[in-house]
Amino acid sequence: MNAQTKIEVPPDAQLRAALAAALPELGTVSKNKDNPHFKSRYADLAAVIQSLEPLKAHGLWFRQVPVEAETGVAFETFYLHTSGAELSAGVMHMPV
């Protein structure tokens, strides 16, 4: 390799490096709402999204898409990176 050789970093590697840097910066989601039926507190969607703000500083965000599920509702979450790479964070199934 000479001084002019440029090593290309694949978008997937850039996404994983950004996640490695961003995830330790994520804090706890604030439980900002009351559920009188169960006498408990919970975090609403706005609180969850607010807790993910540190992802933006690393060129990351997320998207969720519905997935077919016979016994309930399911969605898959993807991390998105400014390089164009996407990485599945997994599928969440909620039975009904």
Mean pLDDT of 55-61: 96
The tokens describing 91, both together, are: 């599928």
Reduce the secondary structure of 39-90 to three states and give it as a string.
CEEECCHHHHHHHCHHHHHHCEEEEEEEECCCCEEEEEEEEEECCCCEEEEE
pLDDT of residue 33: 97
- The predicted model scores a pTM of 0.75
pLDDT at site 11: 78
Q: What is the pLDDT of residues 1-57, one digit of tens each?
A: 555 666 677 778 999 999 999 999 999 999 999 999 999 999 999 999 999 999 999
